[in-house]
Amino acid sequence: MTRVYNFSAGPACLPEWVLNKASQEMLDAHSSGMSVMEMSHRSSEFENILNTAKDRLRRLMDIPEDYEILFLQGGASLQFSMVPMNLLKHSADIINTGQWTKKAIAEHKKLGDTHVVASSAEDNFTYIPKIKQEDLSPDSDYVYICENNTIYGTKYKTLPPHDGKLLVADMSSCILSEPVDVSQYDLIFAGAQKNIGPAGVTLVIIRKDLLTENEALPSMLNYKTYADNNSMYNTPPTYGIYVCGLVFEWLEEQIGGLEAMEKINHQKAALLYDYIDQSTLYSNPVAKEDRSYMNVPFVTGDKDLDAKFVKEAKEAGFVNIKGHRSVGGMRASIYNAMPVEGVEALVDFMKKFESENTKG
């Protein structure tokens, strides 16, 4: 067996500890004589799996008791509609930082008054626009951000002002990468396939007082339905939730929590950025103060050389490192599950490629 270093932006690599544990439990999970995939979601075994996962996540992220943890389906993309369906009463203020906020803006516009309060589009989203309280619309219900921009490699290091308004954050590609003060937010959502587990699960963390009856809203699109039924109004993505629970267990017991995870993530990101910044071949276009710790785009400035890099990297066991088509070049996604050794090996490969492809 040879495992590659998988730098995919998502679905992304999972911790080997998690994959091993899942494989050990594949045929007989928790002495049930069956796989988690075969269990009734109404069984006490599965209920225990789901509640244990929620408890671990609450401890890991220090989620206050007045917030609900929900497991949904439909990906982060369904949240582009569910957020306005549940929270937009007057209008929404969205900061446009790339592909994922563009899609959120498009869905919001179908449902209500939507203001793009700032955008870094004119600079190909290479920075996070800084806004002031007075940039916000007087009647907006919430400020919506994408906290880590997976494609462009930018991240909010400080939150935008939002006095008197709710704050909604798409954390799909940075959740669990560092400690966060959940009480600063009113709704956090994330597709699982980057930093939480397999595709098919969407995590929502929402302040309980925002869960309201709404006769006009289809039940499956109302957060309250999920909250009232412990995320089991209908059959939840059982196996996916189980694997998410294993990732939470890995973070708690193998890594030692989110502060320890953050240290490792900063170490990995520094290895790449420090090398790229002193390199004569590679560059990263993002404003330094806004650089992501999870997604590191880089280019050589020559399309053919980029293609050669991607091809040779793959042959050397570094896969899925091609950049998104809107940015070009390369992108190394270095989520929680990417070990430090993977990033060290990639930097060694980049050095070798640089020396082979530059003169003098």
Ligand X SMILES: *Cc1c(COP(=O)(O)O)cnc(C)c1O
- Residues annotated catalytic, as ranges: 100, 170, 194
CB of 33 to ligand X, least distance (A): 33
Burial code (b: 16+ CB inside 10 Å, e: under 16) for 304-335 equals: ebbeebbeebeebebbbbbbbeebebbbbbbb
Contacts 24+ apart (CB under 8 A), 213-219: 214/86, 217/85, 217/86
Residue from the set 100, 127, 248, 273 that interacts with ligand X by CB under 6 A:
100
183-202: contacts with ligand X (CB under 6 A): 191, 194
Q: Kindly state the helix (H) or strand (E) to which residue 54 belongs, with its residue range.
A: helix 44-61
CA gap 35, 21 in Å, rounded: 12
3-state secondary structure 131-188: CCHHHCCCCEEEEEEECEECCCCEECCCCCCCCCCEEEEECCCCCCCCCCCHHHCCEE
The tokens of 127 are what?
């920075």
The interface region with ligand X, picked from 61-69, 75-83, 89-97, 249-257 by CB under 6 A, is: 75-83
Residue from the set 118, 146, 281, 337 that interacts with ligand X by CB under 6 A:
146
Please tell me whether residue 87 binds ligand X under the rule CB under 6 A: no
The tokens of 271 are what?
């290895």
CA gap 23, 326 in Å, rounded: 37
Transcribe 271-303 into DSSP letters. HHHHHHHH-SS-B--S-GGGB-SSEEEEB-S-H
Cα angle 183, 234, 172; round to 5? 40
Please tell me whether residue 6 binds ligand X under the rule CB under 6 A: no
The interface region with ligand X, picked from 111-119, 166-174, 180-188, 275-283 by CB under 6 A, is: 166-174
Closer residue to ligand X in complex, CB, 243/281: 243
Closer residue to ligand X in complex, CB, 202/284: 202
Please tell me whether residue 150 binds ligand X under the rule CB under 6 A: yes
Residue from the set 77, 119, 230, 357 that interacts with ligand X by CB under 6 A:
77
Closest residue by beta carbon to ligand X: 75
Task: Count residues binding ligand X (CB under 6 A).
Answer: 12
CB of 186 to ligand X, least distance (A): 18
Residue from the set 76, 88, 206, 346 that interacts with ligand X by CB under 6 A:
76
CB of 333 to ligand X, least distance (A): 9
Residue from the set 5, 10, 83, 291 that interacts with ligand X by CB under 6 A:
10
Please tell me whether residue 170 binds ligand X under the rule CB under 6 A: yes
Please tell me whether residue 173 binds ligand X under the rule CB under 6 A: yes
Closer residue to ligand X in complex, CB, 114/300: 114
CB of 314 to ligand X, least distance (A): 22
Please tell me whether residue 320 binds ligand X under the rule CB under 6 A: no
Please tell me whether residue 231 binds ligand X under the rule CB under 6 A: no
Q: What is the largest CA-CA distance in the chain?
A: 71
Please tell me whether residue 333 binds ligand X under the rule CB under 6 A: no
Closer residue to ligand X in complex, CB, 76/117: 76
**Residues in CB range of 8: below 8 A, 6 or more apart:** 319, 320, 333
* Cβ pair 106, 272 in contact under 8 A: no
Bridge partners, 169 (sequence order): 145, 188
CA gap 208, 221 in Å, rounded: 16
Q: Using CB under 6 A as the criterion, which residues of the chain lie in contact with ligand X when the complex forms? A: 10, 75-77, 100, 146, 150, 170, 172-173, 191, 194
